[in-house]
Structures are given as C-alpha cells and as structure tokens.
Structure 1
Amino acid sequence: MAGVLNGSVALVGAGAVGLHYGARLALNGEDVRFMLRSDYEVVMKEGIRLESVDGNATLHPAQGFSDASEIGPVDWVIVAWKATANERLAEVLKPMLHERTQVLTLQNGLGNCEALAEIIGPERVLGGLCFVCLNRLSEGYVRHTAGGRVTIGEWRPEPGIPRATRLAAAFEAAGVKCEAVEDLERAQWRKLVWNIPFNGLAIAEGGVTTDVLLADPEIEREVEALMREVISAANAKGLSIDEGVVDFEIGRTRPMGPYRPSSMIDYVEGRAVEYEAIWGEPLRQAKAAGVPVPRLEHLAGRIREKIGSR
C-alpha cells in the first residue's frame, strides 16, 4: 500500500505525539523512519503499540534508527520532540536533509518555526498543531484518550506549492482529522488559549490534573481569565480569535477527566519544561503588542519558581 506523500519521512522525537502520528502515517503506507532513543530496543522487538479511542493498532515492524545519520536524506522531516531539545535541531537535521527536504514541526508554543527557518530557510518550514490527549505509557506504547485533530500551515507560504494541503491529505488518509490553514500564527495562538492556562496551572498548583483544576471554582475563574488575556494579545496582533472559545475549551476539557497535560508530566518527572515556547515567548509578544497580561505574567513567575526550585 502506497502512501499519499510519495516520499520518505523522518520522525524526530519518539514521545507520545511522534509515536502516535508517525505510526498512523506508517500504517497507511507512508515510508516513516523513526529516530529512537530509549524506545529503540522495544520498538524493534515489539513495534509501536497504540491504545486509542479510534481503535487500537500496532505498527510492527517499524523502521527504527538510533541515529539521524543512519536515516540519511529524506523528503520530509516531522519534528515532534519538545521545544527544550531545539538546541540540537541543526545537528540532528543535517544528515537528513537534501536540497528539497521539507520540515514540519508539531511542537507546542511559539518560536519553533523561527528556529527551523534559521537552519533550513523559511520557505521549507511548516508548522502543525495537535489537539489531542496522548500519554506515552512505556517504551513504544501510547494511549490516546480524546481528540486527535491536526492543523497544518505554511510558515512562509510559497504560491502554487500546496505542501500543507498535501500533508493534511496524508494525515486524513491515515485516519487523522487534519486541515490545512492559511494563517498558521492564528492557529498557534488559538492553541495557546488552552495550553497557557491548563499546562501552566497544572504545574503552578504542584503537578495536578485538569479535573482538579476545574473542581476548584477559584482556579476555574483563573483559567477563564488567562484565556481571555491570551485572546486579547492575539487580537492585538490582528489574529481575530473570538472570546466564545473560552467556554468551548473549558467545556471540552471537563470530559477528559484526570488528564495529565504534557508540561505537568515533564515537571513531575523532573524533565525540562517548555517554558519559553509556551509562556515566555507569548508573554514577550503580548507586551510588545501593548497588551496588559498581569495574570499571564504572574503565572509565568509561578512556573519559573516551581521549575527553578527542583
């Protein structure tokens, strides 16, 4: 079975996001080559196991590699690791690039496309956003409990080159709801409406799940207020996000139950937290736009205190 992309794909970052979406693409015939670290031996022996509300699946065998140089030049690279690892981007990408390689980042927050553009040029960068509840339970084993939609956009669109549309078609063919959007920056800020309060307060409150946050009326009001500040900053940048998304985002979070946001998991497990991408850069951009965001500023301070005290 041939895939939609008609080319090779390197998947960098074998966490929950990378394993889930990479396996879905590979199961639909895409030539996906996974760069693996701690998961390598298990994936080579047992494959990638997906426990999903959309149906369980196993990709076995999977094309796994322990080093980027073993993968070699590919047509597409999907970056799915945390933004905290971006200092290694140039080193890891170099052996996988040829002159026409396109790179899609599925990372949270702001600044990731810019980091890629410095390495390969802005005309080859795409950004993607995953609206999904995923947790990596063990090596090569991912649980998908809700959502799954992906939004993809061009960082600097090239007229007549429908790269985002082609990628979206590949995800759709793999059973993943996906759309190509014209305004990637708006989509990035739209996701921050959820990520900033829920990831942030889950850390600030000591490492708690989303149901705990929403069970406290005072914290729920803080979630709402933070969302409105993010929307105000986005709208000051001309990105046009309706305040009705506040009720929508809180409403869709309640049925998630005791969901563990990815940044909270990193915090409680002692890993680096994506502070700059999710809170630092949005805070700087909000201030540059002349928008007062006192709650975001306070939350950012609480997060810095938490991660700095470990």
Structure 2
Amino acid sequence: MSCLFSRIAIVGAGAIGTYYGVRLGRAGADVRFLLRSDLDAVRRRGAMAIHENGATLELRTPAVFVRTEEIGAVDLVIVTLKTTANDRLAQLLPPLIGPDTVVLTLQNGLGSDELIASLVGAERVLGGLAFIASTRTAPGEVTCYHPGSITLGEFSGAPRERTRMLAAQFSAAGVTIKLADNLLAARWHKLVWNVPFNGLAVAAGGITTDRICADPRLAARVRALMREVQHAAAAFGITIADEFLQQQFDVTPPMDAYRPSSLVDFLAGREVEIEAIWGEPLRRAQAAGADVPELAKLYDELRTVPRRSSAN
C-alpha cells in the first residue's frame, strides 16, 4: 500500500493501540509497537491479534520493541498511552521524531494535545477521539466489541491535506473516520459521555453502565453532569445540542453490562485518568466562570475512592 505515513510507531500498545496498529499493519504500513510487559509473550507467539465479530485478524511477525531508541524516527507516532503515563512522553517521543514526523494522540480527556505540542511543536500535532469498545484480553491480543470510529482533527486549526490523507489511510485499514473542523469542540463532545459514565461507574463502587441507567438517582446525576459539560463547553464558544445529550444517554442502555475504560482500570487496580477526564475539564470550566457543582462533586469523589488491589 502506498501511503503518506509508511512508518508508524504505536506508543502504548494496549487495547486501542493494538487494535489500530494491527489494522494499519495489515493494510501495508510498517508499524512498530512499543511494548513493555507483553514483549516476550508477543515474540513467542509471533503475532498480534484482533478478535472481532467471531473472526481473528492477525499481524504476523510484528515489529515490537522495548525502547523508542530501537524504533527510531518514523513518519507518524500514534500515542495511545493512558494519560496517567504522560510524564514518560518527554523521554519516549524524541527518538521517534524526524524532520517531518507527525504525532497523533488518541488519549482521553483534555490536555494531551497541549502537552505533546509543548514537547514536539504544535505544527506536528494531530488529535483524535477513539469511539471504540475494545479490551486487551491477552498479551498482544484485543477483543473488539464495537469498532466505532475515530474523529480526527488538527491541533492548530482546520483539517489539512495530511489530515485527509491519514483519514484515507485509516479508512483503507477498515477504520471509520470522521474529520473535525474543531478538535477542541470534538473533545468536549466526547466528555458528554465520558464524564458521567466513566466517572459514576467508579464512584458508585465499580458498576457497569446498565446499572447506572437503571438507577433513578444515578441516571439523574448522568443527565446533570451532561448538562454541566454542555454549559462548560459553551463558555469556550462551543455549542453542544440538547439532542446530542439525549442521544448519548439513549445509546447507553443497549450496551448492556458495559464496563467503561475507567472502570476496567479501577477493577484491575490501575490508576484512573482522573485529571485528564475530570480534573482538567473542571479547572477550565471554573476558570471560564462556568458553574459546574456536579462535576466538582464527582471529581472529589473520584480522588477519594480507594484504589483496588490488582489481586482483587
């Protein structure tokens, strides 16, 4: 396959990084995965895999590395680390950057675009929102329950030719792509679902989205949090329609006993992305003069929820 981004580094080969990396690799790109604990197991197996719709898609003999210095400069870096590991980016990114390297972050919440821009330059940065339900089920293996889509945008403005070419490359790999004229607006839209459902799943003691929707008190909190995200976005000139809020609620009950990514991390004893998904939106909203008491309450609850042992 002839493509603009022929050499691609995946920084954070968990559920999302593995899924998109395998798809891009199977479509012909030279994909290089940064792995840590999974490295030896993936090398022994000789493949990375996606399990989806009863079928398995494998990327045979994947290029896997433990250090970005071993990967070297690439055309595209896709950052899919949890934001809780962003303090590592200052070390991880420089060996991957060549004269024309572009960095795409598919991280949650707010703040990652600005952080990466401060490290590599704003001109290099693209941002994306991954609307996908996938779980890492074994080293180098992902089960995808809903492939969803990626919303892709430029950090510094409207989509450019490179944005459209990357979108075409993802599309050729079987990924549904939407282009965002305003990346920040797209991120606030995603928070409409992430803030209430990821947050309450953890704050309520570790429950799935079906239980949140079925509980009148929790469902009311969901709607109040959605309205506050809408209100906060408006303080930055971003309009989120009432119909969008209703749609985001309505799509959730059919997911049944879905475990949002923050709940998966919580139950596994991993650190939850509190600052990116709740802390940074709260600080920005308050700085802009938006009244967001429910968001402030949820943020405080999440900061005091005891972390679970990974042995539980």
Give distance in 1, aligned partners of 2:166 and 2:291.
37
Confirm or deny: 8 A CA contact 1:202 1:261 kept in the other structure.
yes
Q: 8 Å contact 1:27–1:174 — kept in the other structure?
A: yes
Kept in 2: contact 1:3–1:31 (CA 8 A)? no
2-structure distance, mates of 1:218, 1:3: 53
Give, in angstroms, the shift of residue 45 of structure 1: 2.8
- Give SS of 1:69's match: helix
1:186 aligns to what?
A: 185
The question of whether the paired residues in 2 share the 8 Å contact of 1:109 and 1:277 is answered with yes
Distance (whole Å) between structure 1 residues aligned to residue 307 and residue 208 of structure 2 = 21
| Deviation digits for residues 10-63 of structure 1 (CA, Å, limit 9, x no counterpart) | 000011000001111111111111111111122223211211139531111211
1:115 CA displacement = 0.6
Give the match's secondary structure for 1:56.
strand
Structure 2: runs of 5 or more not aligned: none
TM-score by length of 2: 0.95
Distance 1:234 1:6, change over 3 A: closer
Distance 1:57 1:309, change over 3 A: closer
| Whole-angstrom distance in 1 between the partners of 2:50 and 2:62 | 13
Partner amino acid, structure 1, of 2:74: V
Distance 1:244 1:14 in 2: 35
Equivalent position of 2:63 in the other structure: 63
The answer to whether the 8 A contact 2:5-2:76 is kept is no
* Offset at residue 111 of structure 1 (A): 0.4
**Do the aligned partners of residues 228 and 43 (structure 1) sit closer, same or farther apart at CA in structure 2, a change above 3 Å counting?**
same
Cα distance, 1:3 vs. partner? 4.6
Using the aligned pairs only, state the percent identity. Answer: 47
Opposite residue 131 of structure 2, the aligned amino acid is F
| Contact residue 4 and residue 173 of structure 1 kept, 8 A | no
Q: Aligned pair 1:303/2:302, yes or no? A: yes
What TM-score, normalized to structure 1? 0.95
User: In the TM superposition, what is the alpha-carbon distance from 1:7 to its structure 2 partner?
Assistant: 2.3
Q: Within 2, Cα distance between the matches of 1:54 and 1:156?
A: 40
By how many angstroms is 1:270 displaced? Answer: 1.5
CA contact (8 A) 1:3 1:28 kept: no
**Deviating more after overlay: 101-110 vs 50-59:** 50-59
How far apart, in 2, do the equivalents of 1:164 and 1:55 lie? 30
Task: Give the aligned partner of residue 166 of structure 1.
Answer: 165
CA distance in 2, matches of 1:151, 1:53: 22
Q: Distance in 2 between matches of 1:74 and 1:290?
A: 42
Considering only aligned residues, what root-mean-square deviation do their CA atoms show, in Å? 1.6
* C-alpha deviation, 1:288, in angstroms: 1.5
Give the Cα separation in 1 of the matches to 2:15 and 2:280. Answer: 24
The question of whether the paired residues in 1 share the 8 Å contact of 2:5 and 2:75 is answered with no
Mapped to 1, the partners of 2:4 and 2:43 lie a distance apart of 24
Q: Is the 8 A contact 1:5 1:30 kept in 2?
A: no
Which AA in structure 2 matches 1:73? A
Q: Which runs of 5+ in 1 are unaligned?
A: none
**Alignment-derived partner of residue 259 in structure 2:** 260
Corresponding residue SS for 1:239: coil
**1:65-102 superposed Cα distances (whole Å, 9 cap, x missing partner):** 11111101111100001011111101001111112111
Distance 1:45 1:172, change over 3 A: same
Q: Distance in 2 between matches of 1:265 and 1:3?
A: 37
Q: Distance in 1 between matches of 2:294 and 2:264?
A: 23
Secondary structure of the structure 2 residue equivalent to 1:5:
coil
CA distance in 2, matches of 1:263, 1:233: 22
The alignment partner of 2:135 has SS state of strand
Check the 8 A contact 2:155/2:183 in 1, yes or no: yes
Q: In the alignment, what sits opposite 1:278?
A: 277
Letter in 2 for 1:58: E
Aligned to 1:226: 225
Structure-2 change in CA distance of 1:122 and 1:158 (3 Å): farther
Separation (CA, whole Å) in 2 of partners of 1:90 and 1:158: 27
- Residue correspondences, number: 308
Question: Aligned residue for 1:21?
Answer: 20
Secondary structure of the structure 2 residue equivalent to 1:108: coil
